[in-house]
Chains A and B, each alone.
Chain A
Amino acid sequence: MTTPSRFPEPYGHSSGANLADILERVLDKGVVIAGDIRINLLDIELLTVKLRLIVASVDKAKEMGIDWWETDPALSSRARRDELTRENAELRERLARLEELEPGHVPKEAP
């Protein structure tokens, strides 16, 4: 799908360039000038490293149906919280059932 554009050619330059080609140039190369709006160069460097490593944003990943971390208790605090709530409810229910089986049961008094 790469048709090299021959020089000279008025427009439609950089044909065959993918997003990585463009990002690697406009983010990584080119003259660095400190403008009035400070961009932390370290941020940009981290960003390019991240882009090389992970690529898609979380939203994009979700769009693609990749959301395993949301339900994996080891990775998501929300999932971990959900897990605790669920476990808690289950234990309460079991306790309630046990108490029903023992109508005469009186909770032991705390010392």
Chain B
Amino acid sequence: MTGLRYVYAVCRPFGTPLQSQLTGIGGAPPGLLHHHGLVAVVSQVPEADFGEEALKAHLEDLDWLAATARAHQGVIDALTTVTTPLPLRLGTVFRDCSGVRSMIEAREDDFRRTLERLEGRVEWGVKVYLDPEPPEPAAAVAARPGSGRDYLRRRRESTHAQEDRWQRAEAFAGSLHERLCRYAEDSRLHPPQNSTLSTTPGQNVLNAAYLVPRKHSEEFVETVDRTKGEAPGIRVELTGPWAAYSFTGEGQS
């Protein structure tokens, strides 16, 4: 059986060893491949799962994808505690170690530049949700509309109320984003999440990522915490610290 090499991240050499029980995809322990003054974090994966056809089929399987994504993220998380990793996209696979080495050689200038830019920084995720609409008061439901006109008026009123709530949530999200940008060196606005996949109730109004120096993280988190309960019907969620996934690209503002 042949094994392929799955690459999680590229880092600068770091002194602290990885957790000894750390496992990556398929339960394999990730190892460090040093080359040209950089480190690739690599584990072996079976060709049966990561060969071209197999991988293509697996990517369509949400359960497989979820498990693999969590394993990938687990390794990145562990790296984030000891260094500033440059996370690679899920599914970066090579035939053997020499393939990984050639890749490092081809991209080393890029890697160094980006690692330098991200050094000592983490990513925080902040999402703002508009809570699900409160149920109509019982009285309003009980009183059947007397006429078509009544019905239309009521429909209009409820639509207006919904628009008001939405506008208030957007204004809140805008002001929060502004406040958070004071602590962040950079930010990205991601598309709002689908509530079925995130299994989070309410409508996602803001889905943002912030690049924050570690030394400002405490203040950043406190600022987010202080907004909780600031606006009724609006929820703020914080995730992180993440490796700087959203800020790995070149030439971004």
Q: Please list the residues of chain A having a beta carbon within 8 angstroms of any beta carbon in chain B.
A: 2, 4-8, 10-11, 13-27, 29-33, 35-40, 43-44, 47, 51-53, 55-57, 60
Question: Would A30 and B198 be within 8 Å (CB), given that A14-B242, A36-B99, A37-B50 are in contact?
Answer: no
21 A-B pairs within 8 Å (CB atoms) are namely A2-B239, A4-B224, A6-B221, A11-B77, A13-B240, A14-B242, A16-B237, A18-B198, A22-B73, A23-B69, A29-B246, A30-B89, A31-B114, A32-B88, A33-B7, A36-B95, A37-B93, A51-B62, A51-B194, A52-B191, A56-B196
Report the interface size class on chain B: 35 or more
A25, B246: Cβ atoms under 8 Å?
yes
Q: Is B161's CB within 8 Å of the partner chain A?
A: no
What is the bound-complex CA distance between A87 and B77, given in angstroms?
59
Asked if B10 contacts A31 (CB within 8 A), the reply is yes
CB distance from A16 to the nearest CB of B (A): 5
Which B residues contact A (CB, under 8 angstroms)? 4, 7, 10, 19, 50-52, 55-56, 59-63, 65-66, 69-70, 72-73, 76-78, 80-81, 86-95, 99, 103, 107, 114, 122, 125, 190-191, 193-194, 196-200, 214, 217-218, 221, 224-225, 237-242, 245-246, 248
